């Protein structure tokens, strides 16, 4: 299955790429790279990754000399990558070596570069596999730039199908009328699914600049609010000084350090980040780095959306039937009694895996490595289907198990997507045909908790915005992860306002008598279970009290632990999943679970 992590071969390949690229890095306090001549030359053949700090202001930098306001057109072009070729060269009819044809609208505001479009941008033309998202950057001037100003910004590439991210940074020179070629490098990535190559990349294409006024009053007001809503970040060394460095020695559970993009703890609303390193030094915009977290989406978006709907329209929504909100075309009656809660718990009773339930193996569902070729091909047909109608067609071609819903868990991306489609249908019945489920979530949940932008993959429709996937496809910053985690830890309430169903959160966190279904996994303390999109790992404290520690989990080793004491642990990267995270044990030692209940 997609979310079981990846094999040792991929990990070794990633480590090899990183080791290769480290050889080209040189560090220094002065601008020894990306100087005026180098940026103005615009020689694409000379582009190669350099130390990340060259994309940022150097010693002696001053305020920008010019206002930036207009459109930057980046043409489609071949990226220079390490290794030289990306495999496969083509996916879903698109070419993987090509940077997309994109137009960015940007303005400067004080020391900041602010992009107008903050959602994922699709290519304007061409056949690139990639799409792009741009975040706020910086503007400044340096004495050696002959009267021009400088700008840089963070971005990531992803695809409209997948959910991995390729984080990069770009820079250029500019004045009132023109800009230099754009220099960029892509320096960090999360686990790909269909792509077989781990890569870093660089480029320096000539770009066009069309200066012009932009109505930015609302844009700047939102950006200033975004800055104000940032959480406090503290240095990891503060925890080591307080509790002893040895306590955190195995925080990442023995995972190869180069396979961890970032990890840390959220304690009392403050974020402690261990690192955000890349082969070229620390990522220069750590707060802006976005992570395609794969099936963490099932909780951070799918479950949260279900519970927002329950808060708006009543907790009985969890027991609504899928068949009452979708046109089920299955040649069997397996969907007749499937409820929203069954889909969220991936216990629909629908699937193609083995019928052996002793022991139960949750991994025998979607995209399982053990699936027969026909079943895996059927999964990929659904996975690549672009529209809502096409995806639902494939969903309802899947046979049912001999048991009914709610009996056994089977890991199925298709269950969560079907729930998304049903929620979208329900929302449109309540609010009108033009109502947008994901926009409601941005306005009524994520915005109020201080998340101003939340890119999400959707189905691709001939007209209008598609339905959010919710099974994967969300792109989170560390602050986003912390804020969503804190919302769940507080029972779905924020600033005294109940945003999510309190009863639904309590059930999902095992604060009621309801328990989930076994997954077939276990650790030294007992069996693992799964319920309402959360994995539950048993953990026994030194006093002998047994806890169930819920976590969000995504392909490649993206983990968010919701500790019983209110602490949140996270690790994002390519290190694979672990049965019991060392961060749970560490959190118990920092703030003993027995003496510090969640709330």
Task: Please report, for residues 188, 290, 291, 438, 558, the alpha-carbon distance to residue 481 in angstroms, rounded to integers and kept in the order given.
Answer: 19, 10, 10, 18, 11
Query: Is residue 357 scored above 90 in pLDDT?
Result: no
> Do both 216 and 250 map to the same domain?
no
Confidence of residue 199 (pLDDT cuts 50, 70, 90): very high
User: Residue 243 phi/psi, 5° resolution?
Assistant: -115, -5
Q: Are residues 528 and 510 in the same domain?
A: yes
**Residue 598 within a domain:** no
Q: Is the peptide bond before 83 cis (omega within 30 degrees of 0)?
A: yes
Q: Are residues 183 and 252 in the same domain?
A: no
Kindly report the number of other CB atoms within 10 A of residue 363's CB atom: 21
- Tell me how far apart the terminal alpha carbons of the chain are, to the nearest angstrom: 35
Contact predicate 489/598, CB 8 Å: yes
User: In angstroms, rounded to a whole number, what is the distance separating the alpha carbons of residues 296 and 292?
Assistant: 9
Percent of residues, the chain, with pLDDT higher than 70:
93
* Mean of pLDDT over the chain: 91
Whether residues 157 and 262 fall in one domain: no
Q: How far apart are the C-alpha atoms of 64 and 424, rounded to whole Å?
A: 46
User: Does some domain include residue 235?
Assistant: yes
Percent of the chain surpassing pLDDT 90: 82
Kindly state the tokens that stand for 2: 């997609």
Among 183, 198, 225, residue at a domain's last position = 225
pLDDT grade for 259, boundaries at 50, 70 and 90? confident
Mean per-residue pLDDT for 174-189? 96
Lookup result for tokens 């706020």: 136
Instruction: Identify the domain boundary among 193, 225, 257.
Output: 225
Q: 390 in a domain, yes or no?
A: no
Structural domain for 221, as ranges: 2-225
Buried b (16+ CB within 10 A) or exposed e, 416-436: bbbbbbbbbbbbeeeeeeeeb
- Here the tokens at position 405 are 């819903």
The answer as to whether 582 is a domain residue is: no
Distance CA 581, CA 252 (A): 8
Residues 148 and 279 in one domain: no
Q: Are 83 and 196 in contact (CB under 8 A)?
A: no
Residues 275 and 258: their CA atoms lie apart, in Å, by 11
Confidence band (pLDDT; 50, 70, 90) for 32? confident
**Per-residue pLDDT tens for 429-467?**
999 999 999 999 999 999 999 999 999 999 999 998 999
**In this structure, is residue 451 part of a structural domain?**
no
Q: Do residues 190 and 574 touch, judged by C-beta distance below 8 A?
A: yes
Taking residue 143's Cβ as centre, other Cβ atoms within 10 Å add up to 11
What distance in Å separates the CA atoms of residue 127 and residue 76, rounded to the nearest whole number? Answer: 8
pLDDT band at 367 (very low <50, low <70, confident <90, very high): low
Residues 61 and 187 in one domain: yes
What pLDDT score was predicted for residue 296? 97
Which DSSP state fits 545?
Answer: -
Distance separating alpha carbons of residues 20 and 76, to the nearest angstrom: 27
Question: What would the mean pLDDT of 49-74 be, rounded to a whole number?
Answer: 96
CA dihedral 280, 283, 284, 290 (to 10 degrees): 140
Q: What is the pLDDT of residues 470-525, one digit of tens each?
A: 999 999 999 999 999 999 999 999 999 999 999 999 999 999 999 999 999 999 99
**475-476/493-494 β-pairing:** unpaired
**Helix or strand or coil: residue 49?**
coil
Same domain for 193 and 247, yes or no, is no
Q: How far apart (Å, rounded) are the C-alpha atoms in residues 186 and 170?
A: 9
- Domain end point (choices 209, 225, 241): 225
Structural domain count of the chain: 2
Does residue 346 form part of some domain?
Answer: no
Same domain? For 64 and 205 the reply is yes
Q: Is pLDDT above 60 for 424?
A: yes
Name the pTM for this structure.
0.94
């Amino acid at each position: 299955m997609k979310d079981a992590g990846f094999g040792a071969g991929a990990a070794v390949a990633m480590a090899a790429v990183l080791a290769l690229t480290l050889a080209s890095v040189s560090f220094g306090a002065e601008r020894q790279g990306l100087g005026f001549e180098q940026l103005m030359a615009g020689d694409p053949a000379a582009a190669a990754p350099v130390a990340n700090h060259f994309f940022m202001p150097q010693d002696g930098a001053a305020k920008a000399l010019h206002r930036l306001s207009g459109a930057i057109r980046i043409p489609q072009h071949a990226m220079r990558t390490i290794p030289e070729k990306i495999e496969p060269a083509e996916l879903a009819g698109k070419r993987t070596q090509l940077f997309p044809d994109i137009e960015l609208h940007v303005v400067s505001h004080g020391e900041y570069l602010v992009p107008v479009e903050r959602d994922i941008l699709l290519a304007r033309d061409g056949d690139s596999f990639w799409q792009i998202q741009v975040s706020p950057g910086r503007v400044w001037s340096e004495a050696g730039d002959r009267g021009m100003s400088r700008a840089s910004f963070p971005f990531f590439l992803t695809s409209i199908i997948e959910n991995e991210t390729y984080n990069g940074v770009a820079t250029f020179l500019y004045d009132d009328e023109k800009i230099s070629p754009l220099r960029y490098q892509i320096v960090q990535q999360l686990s790909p699914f269909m792509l077989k190559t781990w890569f870093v990349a660089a480029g320096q294409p000539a770009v066009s600049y069309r200066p012009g006024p932009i109505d930015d009053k609302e844009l700047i007001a939102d950006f200033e609010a975004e800055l104000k809503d940032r959480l406090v970040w503290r240095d990891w060394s503060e925890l080591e000084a307080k509790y002893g460095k040895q306590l955190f020695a195995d925080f990442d559970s023995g995972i190869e350090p180069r396979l961890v993009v970032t990890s840390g703890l959220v304690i009392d609303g403050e974020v402690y980040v261990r690192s955000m390193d890349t082969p070229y030094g620390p990522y220069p915009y750590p707060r802006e780095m976005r992570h395609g977290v794969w099936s963490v989406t099932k909780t951070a978006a799918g479950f949260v959306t279900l519970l927002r709907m329950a808060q708006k329209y009543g907790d009985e929504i969890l027991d609504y039937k899928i068949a009452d909100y979708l046109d089920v075309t299955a040649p069997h009656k397996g969907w007749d009694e499937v409820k929203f809660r069954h889909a969220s718990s991936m216990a629909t009773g629908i699937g193609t895996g083995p019928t052996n339930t002793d022991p139960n193996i949750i991994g025998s569902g979607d995209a399982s490595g053990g699936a027969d070729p026909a079943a895996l091909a059927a999964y990929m047909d659904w996975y690549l289907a672009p529209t809502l109608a096409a995806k639902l067609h494939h969903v309802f071609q899947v046979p049912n198990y001999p048991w009914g819903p709610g009996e056994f868990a089977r890991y199925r991306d298709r269950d969560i997507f079907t729930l998304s489609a049903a929620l979208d249908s329900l929302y449109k019945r309540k609010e009108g045909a033009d109502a947008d489920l994901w926009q409601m979530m941005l306005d009524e949940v994520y915005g109020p908790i201080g998340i101003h932008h939340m890119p999400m993959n959707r189905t691709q429709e001939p007209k209008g915005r598609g339905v959010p996937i919710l099974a994967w496809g969300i792109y989170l910053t560390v602050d986003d992860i912390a804020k969503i985690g804190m919302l769940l830890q507080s029972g779905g309430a924020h600033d005294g306002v109940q945003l999510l169903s309190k009863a639904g959160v309590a059930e999902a966190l095992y604060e009621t008598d309801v328990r989930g279904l076994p997954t077939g996994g276990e650790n030294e303390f007992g069996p693992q279970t799964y319920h309402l999109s959360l994995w539950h790992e048993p953990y026994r404290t030194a006093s002998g009290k047994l806890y169930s520690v819920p976590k969000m989990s995504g392909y490649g080793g993206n983990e968010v632990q919701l500790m019983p004491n209110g602490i949140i642990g996270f690790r994002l990267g390519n290190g694979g999943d672990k049965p019991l995270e060392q961060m749970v044990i560490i959190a118990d030692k920092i703030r003993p679970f027995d003496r510090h209940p969640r709330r």
